[in-house]
Structures are given as C-alpha cells and as structure tokens.
Structure 1
Amino acid sequence: MLGMDVSTPPDRLILDEAAPFLDGPGVVVVIDDVDGALVLGAAAAGAHEIRVHQDLITGERSLASHAAAAGVTYRSMPLGPELLDGARVVLLRLPRSLDRLAEVSSLVATHAAPEVTLVAGGRIKHMTTAMNDVLRTVFDRVDVSLARQKSRVLIASGTRRADAAGALSGWPRTERHDDLGLTVAAHGGVFAGTRIDIGTRFLLGQLGSAPPSGTVVDLACGSGVIGTWLALRDPGLRVTATDRSAVAVASARATAEINKVADRITVTRADGLELLADSSESRIVLNPPFHNDATVSTEIARGLFADAGRVLAPDGELWCVWNSHLRYRPILERVVGPTRQLARNRKFTVTASVRR
C-alpha cells in the first residue's frame, strides 16, 4: 500500500476481494473510507480514476491528508448520480444503518455501469443477514466472503436497474408528526431517521419557554428537527444549522424545505462551529451525540461544548439535553459558564449554560 498504512482488517479484506476488478481502465468509486486506506489501496492495486464520497467532513480531511502524503490523486464528490456515473467498481465500508445501505446500493445499481461490482465489508459483529437481503433487492447476485480477522465482505453484481430506480425514488423518506406540527425528512443513515428521538422531544418541551431570540444555532443538527421546529414557532427567527455529516445536512435541508422554512434556515457541513466567529451568537441548541461510530464516547460532546463556549457572545446561552448518567454539568460550567437545570426525568437532563 502507498504511504502510511492506515488500514484495518475490513479494509484489507475489501481490497483483497476487490483486487481482480481494480487493475485497468474505468472508474473506481470509494464510499465512506475511514482514513484513506481504501483509496490508497485501490491506487496501489492499479486504479487510475478514483472518485470518493465521505459522509463525515472529518473523514474527508483525514483522507486528504493521507492521500497527499502518499501522492495519490482522487476526486471528492457528493453522494449522487455524478459520483456513480459509469463506475465499474464500488468499494464500500458497510454502514451499520440498513437504511444507509439501502439508499447507497440503490444509487449504485441505478447510476453505475450495468456491469458494476460492489465490494462492501465490515466487522462481523456489526453485520447481519438483513444486509444481504437489502443488496438482493437491487442486485441479482450477492456473494459472501470467508471470514478473516473478524471481518467479512459482501460482493454484489448484476444490477436490477428498474427495481433500484424505484427504491431510490423513495428517498428522502418523510414522516408527519402532528403533535409537534412538523414533518421530518431523512436520508438513509441520519440519526433517528424520520422519528424524533425522546431526548430531542424532551428538549423541545423546554425550548417553548425560552425567551425570544432573533437568531439561533442548531449544533449537530441531524435531520434538522430542532431548528425547523423553532423556525415554525417564530416567523422572525433565522437559524444556522450545522453538522459534520453530509447525510445529516441533506436531511436537514429537506426537512426545512418540506416545512416551508428553508428561506430562514442555513444548513452547513462543518466540524462543529468552525465556520462561526468567536463571541458571535446569542443562542445555541444542542442534542449532542454520545456515540463515535460503534463506541459510546463523551469526546464529541465535550468538543461541541467547548465550541459553543467560544462562539457564544457574553450572556449568550447554550440549551442542551443529555443523558443524565453522563453528568455533563461540571464540564458545561467549566467551558461555557454558569449552568442551571431546566428539567430532568428518569433518563434525560436539560440545561441552560450562560457565557460569562
């Protein structure tokens, strides 16, 4: 492999199973590479025209760094028809979400070359036979590799274009929530899908008592539920929504559009609040993630809290919901400011932290 070896067992197995298809002319597409191992490996195996889509902007930057060090060139593109157009091989790190796999595989089967081979792999503990079933809805054949180092690969071929195009037309999915007066739109893989998770519902119940604010930031916005709900309640409000995930950004934009508030919600893909200036915002709302891929972690939330502390203007507030057992209040006090509890139930706590 070129340059630094950042591969994991699933990456190496994907590349080994894909090796017979990689050397030669034609487009190779890599989707959701973690740190660049699949791109670097495909280049080392003879792939010449490589297109890439990374869901996370942090993964996109990690790939760029490793590829630059290795002297590997590729084209980074949004997930869509242009990415897959004419592709003869697609390498995919299997998502844990079946919805994500369904949408991605439908895109591949609809827009890649008819003879495309999809090589998708992951850790066995995160794989289910339902993944095979998802692939079989849009491909004629799905082969399963032997296990190696607790990893396995699915190889799909024989596109069923009509079925795939029909499946693709159902994205993003939508669901009306009359109790909150909004419709949620979701692409495959966004947190909670078209549902509204119970932590977000608990936060919304407290935001109704928040004092008026001309602007608000929906940090780690996911499908855009919080920002859209706030915009629907206050016709004068302008919302900045941000998330590091491309699928979240696409979902948040679709949610804003279907609820007819897109003219007042700006959705950006960014690592936290990196695009916002210090001391520039009066209110930030946040339901922080507590998973980093498959691992329960407080690291992401801590980084978002620190970001909020930097961006809030004096006397600005961070309204946040969090799993009570995580005990975030001391860090909120330290990196944002004085923190008061607004509500607490058996599972969640809602706090407001004031920047001093």
Structure 2
Amino acid sequence: MRLDFELLRRDPDVEGLGLEASDAADRLILDEAAEAVASAGPGGVLVLDDAYGALALGATALGATGVRVHQDLATGERALARNAGRLGFTGELVPLSIPLAPGLLGHARVVLMRLPRSLDRLDELAGLVAGHAASDVRIFAGGRLKHMTLAMNEVLGAWFGRVDVSHARQKSRVLIASEPRAHRQPAAPAWPRVQHDAALDLEVAAHGGVFAGSSVDIGTRLLLAALHDGEAVPDAATAVDLACGTGVVAAWLARARPGLAVTATDRSASAAASARATAAANGVADRVTVTQADGLELLPAASERLIVLNPPFHSDAALHTGIAEHLFADAARVLAPGGELWCVWNSPLRYRPALERIVGPTRQIARDPKFTVTASRRAG
C-alpha cells in the first residue's frame, strides 16, 4: 500500500496556511529506515511523537505490521485515526493511544520519531528506548535543519554507543542511534523532575518537553500576581486551569483558595502527567482533577464561573493565533453567564479584540513590558 502524503490532514488540530500535516523530514525518516522497517518483524516498529500519522502510516505502507504508536497530543491521536480511515489503513495499527511507559518499548527493534525541540523530551524518550527496547534497537529521529542542534547528537550519544547522521535532503536530516547503553545509570533524577520555586513556595514537576519545564515562566508569574489580589470571581466554588502545562496555576489556586475545586486540562499527555505530579507534590491532589483533553471538550456548556488560561501561541514551530482562538471559543462555551476567563498573553499578539468578540467584555488587569493579563466576562 502506498502512502500519499498530500492526503494527510491535521484535523482536528488547527489547520491553515503554513500548517502542514507532514513535511520532508517525515519522508526522509521513512526512506532512511525503510530497510530496517521491512526486517523488524511483527510488532517490531514503534513510532514516537508522530505529529499526524505520517510516520506510522508510512511504516505500515513499507510493510511493517503491528506498528505501535505513542503520541503526546490528544489531537495527534485523533488526526492519525482519521488519516488512517481516510487513506484505507483502518485495522493496520495496534491501539493508537498507548501510554508512554516501559511496557510500550518491549521488543521494539526500530523506533521512528520526529526530533522534539526540547532536549529534555529527547532525553526522556531516548532513555526509555535504551533501557527497555530490544538490544539491537535503532532510533531514526529526524527534523528540519533549522530546528536541529549538535546538542541533540550529544543527548542521543549519552544513551547510545553510536549516533550516525544522514545526508541532508530538502533541508532535513536524520540521526540514527544504535548500540544502547543498557546499563547506563542516568546522572539526572528520574522523570518527572521536581524543582522548588522559592518565590511562589511551590513544587513544580515536569516531564520532558512540557512548556517551561520545572521552572515558572514570567507570563504565569504575572498571572498569579494578578490572581493573588482576589478579584477573580471570589465566590466561585470551582475553577478550570485550561492548557494547564505543569499545573502550576491549578496547584497555586487550590492552595490559595482552600474551598476551591480545580480542573486542570491539557491536550498533552506529558503535561497532564506533570500536572498530576505537581498537585501531589503540593498536597492538593484531592482538589485538583487533571484530564488530558482537547480544550474543554469534557466539560458541559455554561458550567464554570472561573477559567484561567496561559494560551500557547505555537503549533510545532509555527506561530499561529488559531490555537488561542480555539481555546477562547471553548472557554466562551463553558463559562456560565457572568463567569470570567482570566488570560495572560504576550502583549504584541494583541488578543484583546479576539477576546471581546469571542468571550465578551474584556478589561485589563495587569501589564508589564512583555505580557498582559485580562479578564473577559461572559454575557448573561
């Protein structure tokens, strides 16, 4: 079966000009790995962090059977499922949503993956593969040259005895790691890594690749300072930390307002796992419920009086406002009449008109040279 890359879609993720479902790096990874994929045997191919299915479906088209797939994003899982159905690959793959755990790696002889932009994410994945996959496993990890660094070779080299580099093609390259150092003892603590933030007196837990890692970004600090003043729907019994990342806002809210029950949600599996660990580390796990979901899809309309959001503004490497507007629309649906969305955003993005249009009347709460905090009220 031949894979037509042009037919792949990002749906249900944001689609638009400059947002493609696959690129030259996917095709180069598959070309470099073609021989290894063909000889991997049933269940011998594992795909990690495949954005929308190009690698998993491409490996299947090369003859792999029982391909296992782990995708961090819930939207990526759904895009793969829809692309598989659209292109006639239904039933060719094992379950599409597999947790990132040692059991996922067993018997994998070939691992295909896009190089994550985060070295921590690469380190976490490489360590899992080296420690739990077959002894002859090879990783074929590719990316666009503009996003690749020599540090990626070093991270792979810490876990594997050999790292080869492909020739560049169409501004892409592939790193091929083999000879896993099975008995290497990691110098760093196991994931998630936990760091104490003295200014907030908060423990922050993070798996590799989650935004800001185990530190707290300056936008979130401005948001928390604004929330500290107590103006954010003070009589709310529940709140939502939308696109929660490591769960810093959820944990802070639960600790600052002991009567509050908080829902934290993120489409990233590693973010959701980090948020659970952050809540537990701060003793508020009993009042913070964490879910992996696409926005607020699991919450009913008009059900919440307070939603807090630090929206992402990148889709992979592309700057795109569609991600934030999708979250604004979700918040507008879930907010009860009179409820408020408290949002921090990079000031040059000028989100206020979109918030006014999508959610409702918006007032500025705080501003510094880089970020703005606003509160948008849902009309009754």
- Please give the TM-score of this superposition, normalised by the length of structure 2: 0.91
Please provide the CA RMSD for this pair.
1.3
Provide the rounded CA distance (Å) in 1 between the counterparts of 2:217 and 2:199.
14
Provide the rounded CA distance (Å) in 1 between the counterparts of 2:183 and 2:337.
57
Q: Deviations over 1:58-105 (max 9, x none)?
A: 111110111123223233211111111111110011101100000000
Which has the higher mean CA deviation after the structures are superposed, 114-123 or 38-47? 38-47
Please show how residues 291-306 of structure 1 align to structure 2 within 5 Å: 291-306=314-329
Counterpart of 1:342 (choices 359, 365, 368) is: 365
Counterpart of 2:211 (choices 171, 191, 207) is: 191
Q: Are residues 1:247 and 2:270 paired?
A: yes
Structure-2 residue corresponding to 1:170? 190
8 Å Cα contact 2:75-2:267 kept in structure 1: yes
By how many angstroms is 1:251 displaced?
0.8
Structure-2 residue corresponding to 1:22? 37
Unaligned runs of 5+ in 2: 9-21
Provide the rounded CA distance (Å) in 2 between the counterparts of 1:220 and 1:147.
36
Q: Which amino acid aligns with 1:21?
A: A
8 Å Cα contact 1:4-1:66 kept in structure 2: no
8 Å Cα contact 1:141-1:156 kept in structure 2: yes
Provide the rounded CA distance (Å) in 1 between the counterparts of 2:189 and 2:253.
29
- Give the SS at the match of 2:109: strand
Which has the higher mean CA deviation after the structures are superposed, 244-253 or 18-27? 18-27
- Please give the TM-score of this superposition, normalised by the length of structure 1: 0.97
Structure-1 residue corresponding to 2:259? 236
Q: Are residues 1:55 and 2:72 paired?
A: yes
Structure-2 residue corresponding to 1:264? 287
By how many angstroms is 1:167 displaced?
5.4
Structure-1 residue corresponding to 2:18? none
8 Å Cα contact 2:3-2:61 kept in structure 1: no
Counterpart of 2:236 (choices 184, 205, 213) is: 213
Provide the rounded CA distance (Å) in 1 between the counterparts of 2:100 and 2:229.
39
Which has the higher mean CA deviation after the structures are superposed, 101-110 or 8-17? 8-17
Provide the rounded CA distance (Å) in 1 between the counterparts of 2:154 and 2:202.
32
Number of equivalent positions: 355
Which has the higher mean CA deviation after the structures are superposed, 65-74 or 295-304? 65-74
Counterpart of 2:247 (choices 224, 230, 238) is: 224
- Give the SS at the match of 1:118: strand
Structure-2 residue corresponding to 1:127? 148
Structure-1 residue corresponding to 2:126? 105
Provide the rounded CA distance (Å) in 1 between the counterparts of 2:354 and 2:58.
41
Structure-1 residue corresponding to 2:27? 12
Counterpart of 2:166 (choices 145, 169, 173) is: 145
Provide the rounded CA distance (Å) in 2 between the counterparts of 1:288 and 1:37.
27
- Give the SS at the match of 2:286: helix
- Give the SS at the match of 1:92: strand
Structure-1 residue corresponding to 2:157? 136
Q: Are residues 1:290 and 2:313 paired?
A: yes
Superposition misfits of 4+ residues, deviation over 6 angstroms: none
Structure-1 residue corresponding to 2:299? 276
Structure-1 residue corresponding to 2:113? 92
Provide the rounded CA distance (Å) in 1 between the counterparts of 2:219 and 2:285.
24
Q: Which amino acid aligns with 2:214?
A: T
- Give the SS at the match of 1:49: coil
- Give the SS at the match of 1:48: coil
8 Å Cα contact 1:106-1:168 kept in structure 2: no
By how many angstroms is 1:119 displaced?
0.6
8 Å Cα contact 1:308-1:318 kept in structure 2: yes
Provide the rounded CA distance (Å) in 2 between the counterparts of 1:170 and 1:37.
31
Unaligned runs of 5+ in 1: none
Provide the rounded CA distance (Å) in 2 between the counterparts of 1:112 and 1:16.
22
Q: Deviations over 1:281-340 (max 9, x none)?
A: 010000111111111221111111111111000000111111111111111111111111
By how many angstroms is 1:3 displaced?
4.7
Q: Deviations over 1:134-163 (max 9, x none)?
A: 001010000000000000000000010122
Provide the rounded CA distance (Å) in 2 between the counterparts of 1:178 and 1:36.
42
